[in-house]
Structure 1
C-alpha cells in the first residue's frame, strides 16, 4: 500500500466548543480538588451545593478521579501516537500536534483521528 501525498502531515484541530468545555471543566475540577476552600459555592447555582457535597463527603474520590482522568488522557495520547503511525501520519510535527491535542482534549481530538481515512494510491 502506497501513501498519498498529504497523509504524512495530516492534522485537524478539534472543535473549539469542545476545547472550551474540556478546558473549563478540567480547570473547575482542578480548583475543587486542590483549592476547595476558595471556591465560591454559593455563587455557582445548582452546581455549588453539589460540588460542596462532593468536597465535604467524597474528597478522596474527587482527588483519585482527577488523577484517573489525567491517566486516561495519557492513554488516549499514547493511542493517538500509535494511530498516527498506522494511518501513515509520519511528519514529526503532525504527530506531536495529535499527541499534544489528544493529551489536552482527549476524545474530542482522538475521535477525529479515529475517523480519519487516509487516501491510498492505487497499486500499479
Structure 2
C-alpha cells in the first residue's frame, strides 16, 4: 500500500499486536468485571499477583481499566487528526484508522505516525 495515494493509505497492525493486545485487554476486563471466572491457581506467580490485585486493589483496577479505555479513545481521536494532517481524507480509511487505533492503541497509532506521504516511494 506504499504506492497508494495518501487519501486512502491504511496499514493494518501486525497479528502479534492484535493477539497480544486482545488477550491482555480481555484478561484485564475479566479481572475487573468477572474476577471469579479466572483460575488464579493455574497461573502460578502471575495468578497470585492477579488474585492479590483483585482482592486488595479492586477499585484501583477498575479505575485503571477506565483509564486505559480513555487513553485508547484519545489515541483514536489523535489518529483522526493525523489523518487530516497527512492528507488521508477518504471517510472509510479514516474510520479504519480510528477503529484500529481504538482497539490496538499505539500498535496502530505508531504506524500512522511513521507514515510520511511526502517520502513514500512510487513503484
Shared fold per TM-score greater than 0.5: yes
Q: Which residue of 1 aligns with 2:99?
A: 100
Q: Within 2, Cα distance between the matches of 1:36 and 1:62?
A: 11
Query: Deviation string for 1:71-122 (max 9, x for gaps)?
Result: 00000000000000000001111100000000000000000000000037xx
Q: Within 2, Cα distance between the matches of 1:74 and 1:54?
A: 25
Higher relative contact order (CA closer than 8 Å, sequence separation 6+): 1
Matches within 5 A, 1:57-76: 57-76=56-75
SS of the counterpart of 2:13?
A: coil
Larger Rg: 1
TM-score normalized by the length of structure 2? 0.91
Q: Which residue of 2 aligns with 1:43?
A: 42
Q: What stretches of structure 1 move > 3 A for 4+ residues in a row?
A: none
Q: CA RMSD, aligned part only? A: 1.3
Query: Deviation string for 1:34-73 (max 9, x for gaps)?
Result: 1111211001122100000000110000000000000000
Question: How many pairs are equivalent?
Answer: 117
TM-score normalized by the length of structure 1? 0.91
Q: Which residue of 2 aligns with 1:87?
A: 86
* Ranges in structure 1 where 5+ consecutive residues have no aligned partner: none
